[in-house]
Amino acid sequence: MVYARLVGLTSYVELRAHTAFSFGDGAVAPEALIARAKKLGYSAIAITDTADLGAIVRASVEAGNQGMKLIAGAELRVDGKPMALLARDIQGCRNLASLVTRARVGSLRNWSAANRRRGMPGVSWSHVAERAGGLHLLTGPASGAIAQLVRNGERECAEHTLHEWREAFCGRIAVEVQRHGGCGDESALAGALVDLAAKAETPWVACNDPRYLDSNSRLIHDMLTALRAGLDLDRATERGLLHSNGEWRLHSPARMAEIWTGLEDGIEETARIASECDFSVRWLRPPLPAFPIPDGADADEYLRARVDEGANTRWGSALSDRQRAQLEHELAVIRRLGFAGFFLVMWDAVRFARSRNILCQGRGSAASSAVAYCLGVTAVDPILNGLLFERFLSEARIPGPSGEYTEAPDIDLDIEHDRREEVLDYVYGKYHRDHSAITCTVQTYRAPNAILDAMRALGYPPELGTQLSKRLHRFDPAEGVEKVEGGLSQRFGVDLSSPRGRAILVAMRAFEGLPRMRSTHVGGFVLSASPLGDYLPIEHTTMGRTIIQFDKDDLDYIGAPKFDFLGLGALALVRRAFDSIEKRSGVRLELYGLPQADAPTFEMI
């Protein structure tokens, strides 16, 4: 039924779209791509960013809003040549994440900072073949292995390679063919690939492989291409690095049908493949870490024992009826939701920090939990202060009976900032690199980055771009345009009426909202009982961390629990104060033991 709905004169589904998450080789935000696709008449679209899945959660949210179907995919360099893989089901989704992770970081099981992977991400064919389940293979663009063999006249070798790939993917394969109205060589290659597919009795698909939406975003793509090569636009054009025309954009299905008139098989095959692909963000959610429990106890029993110990420390051996009832209520909720492991991980991190005399304290809604208080994670007595546990964790926030969207607990653990790295290293060491990573922060273009990149690409002196960028630090790109037009350009002698000057303004506006780079989140760990890279795509940072390609908002939408270990300078000062008091008095203060109603303190404040 889905296939019947998709097939027709405008049945084309773009299976090879790129977004700005192909950093440097895409110039459109995922939300903008989905919105434009809907406007153009698409009912489905696939995103295949380069060794990257960072766009798919955001695109999935927007696709849901637009009533469209999203297909999750990625372009990977396999033995040095690009091909595309599309997820068909949950197995394919996880295999795709695993392959992206391997392309980016290699094997996490034997990871070390000394041998972390650098340079162009890629995998071997053997790794792809091992992870072929649930995936659909597209053979790649003109620079792909099959197309290169055909172009070099090695037809027999191309047929053999295609046969090998088809066998590994159990027939889930299509020869990728592109036309962008360029030179005759492109048309000849397209014809030869269609002939190869026919002879090999293998389907072929028409792909446009778009990187942008319009002339403005094409300018951004050209700029990023030039800058990636360390050149300006003029020199990049001279060296043939830029696309020959503006056809690498998202065309409408009707336009694609027109381009491929007489070769409708390649159009209809895109719709057929799309009808067989599925995707859900819940497939990305990793299982909670398996906290090592001694003596064969289960996690809930072990958690109860630790809470009882902590309750005796916090409240003494004789608990009130109210205290005991609250603990029983919270432990029952935690047991039903399956979050005992989450609380044990936080307890263990706090225990480690205190064993090293590192001051830490949970904050936020976790302060409403008596369990968190008794575990030493928080320092505010929620019963004494009348706090509501359901503000922190509630079964009422579970949308469905299967629990796939269960809202994960959120505990922000502040750690004295100059010793936070010790806690992070402990967590990495205990759960190992293949079961742990930090979430990323996706940084979008601001006015300073936008004007710097635009002016560098347009050949302006670097010093001039730097001088202008320093005046734009508080602004987004669109706001920066107003400042440049409002007198800043005249002040620094930039002629906005010239073609180059107008291009600065066009580019700055087009940079608005565009992802620029990833950085490490301030402390959001994700841990998993299974290898994390089989669920979430992981990559390296220059500082030797391993980070997930999704930011915290993406992970919240997935429902992946985060363990937030945050650096706080104020706690470092409090710890030094405690050290000083202990040195003078011999008494070691604890946060939870501080008097809550000390009149002289409040008078000082």
Q: Can you spell out the DSSP letters for 275-329?
A: HH----GGGGPPPPP----GGG--HHHHHHHHHHHHHHHHH-SS--HHHHHHHHH
Strands 204-207 and 173-178: what pairing? parallel
Dist CA 171 CA 72 (whole Å): 19
The residue ranking higher by pLDDT, 21 or 561, is 21
Dist CA 454 CA 506 (whole Å): 9
With a cut of 70, say whether residue 445 has pLDDT above it: yes
Confidence of residue 114 (pLDDT cuts 50, 70, 90): low
Do residues 56 and 48 lie in contact, with contact meaning Cβ atoms separated by under 8 Å?
no
Confidence of residue 591 (pLDDT cuts 50, 70, 90): confident
Q: Which two tokens stand for residue 1?
A: 């039924």
| Residue of 266, 277, 309 lying closest to 12 (CA atoms) | 266
Per the prediction, the chain carries an average pLDDT of 91
pLDDT at 405: 45
pLDDT at 402: 40
Strands 69-78 and 44-50: what pairing? parallel
Q: Which whole number is the average pLDDT over 208-218?
A: 96
Dist CA 33 CA 50 (whole Å): 16
Dist CA 71 CA 278 (whole Å): 6
pLDDT at 117: 60
In the chain, the N- to C-terminal Cα span, in Å, equals 69
Confidence of residue 110 (pLDDT cuts 50, 70, 90): low
Q: What is the pLDDT of residues 48-70, one digit of tens each?
A: 999 999 999 999 999 999 999 99
- The type of residue at 522 is V
The residue ranking higher by pLDDT, 144 or 5, is 144
Name the percent of the chain lying above pLDDT 70: 95
Instruction: Transcribe 20-39 into DSSP letters.
Output: TTSTTS--S-HHHHHHHHHH
Instruction: Name all contacts of 387-396 with Cβ < 8 Å and 24+ positions apart.
Output: 389/326, 389/329, 389/330, 389/333, 391/365, 392/365, 392/366, 392/367, 392/368, 393/330, 393/333, 393/334, 393/337, 393/339, 393/369, 394/333, 395/333, 395/336, 395/337
233-245 CB burial, b ≥16 within 10 A, e <16: beebeeeeebbee
Q: Which two tokens stand for residue 235?
A: 């020199």
Tell me the angle at which helices 499-510 and 447-457 cross, rounded to the nearest 10 degrees: 140
Name the percent of the chain lying above pLDDT 90: 76
With a cut of 80, say whether residue 404 has pLDDT above it: no
Give Cβ neighbours of residue 190 (< 8 Å, ≥ 6 apart).
177, 178, 179
Dist CA 287 CA 537 (whole Å): 15
Instruction: Name all contacts of 106-110 with Cβ < 8 Å and 24+ positions apart.
Output: 108/432, 108/433, 108/434, 108/531, 108/532, 108/533, 108/538, 108/546, 109/432, 109/433, 109/434, 109/531
Do residues 209 and 18 lie in contact, with contact meaning Cβ atoms separated by under 8 Å?
yes
pLDDT at 401: 35
Q: Where does residue 8 fall: left (phi above 0), alpha (psi -120 to 50 degrees), or beta otherwise?
A: left
Using H for helix, E for strand and C for coil, what is the string for 512-573? CCCEEEEEEEEEEEEECCCCHHHCCCEEECCCCCEEEEEEHHHHHHHCCCEEEEEEEHHHHH
pLDDT at 40: 97
Dist CA 83 CA 127 (whole Å): 13
117-141 CB burial, b ≥16 within 10 A, e <16: beeebbbebebbeebbebbbbbbbb
pLDDT at 359: 92
Q: What is the pLDDT of residues 334-378, one digit of tens each?
A: 999 888 989 999 999 999 999 998 999 998 899 999 999 999 999
Q: Which two tokens stand for residue 366?
A: 């976790």
Confidence of residue 521 (pLDDT cuts 50, 70, 90): confident
Confidence of residue 112 (pLDDT cuts 50, 70, 90): low
> Which pTM value belongs to this model?
0.90
Q: What is the pLDDT of residues 534-558, one digit of tens each?
A: 999 999 887 778 899 999 899 988 9
pLDDT at 594: 83
Q: Is 69 exposed, middle or buried (0-12, 13-18, 19+ CB in 10 A)?
A: buried
pLDDT at 539: 93
* Residue 110 vs residues 107, 289, 421, 433, 436: alpha-carbon distances, Å: 6, 19, 21, 8, 13
CA angle 87, 14, 200 (to 5 degrees): 75
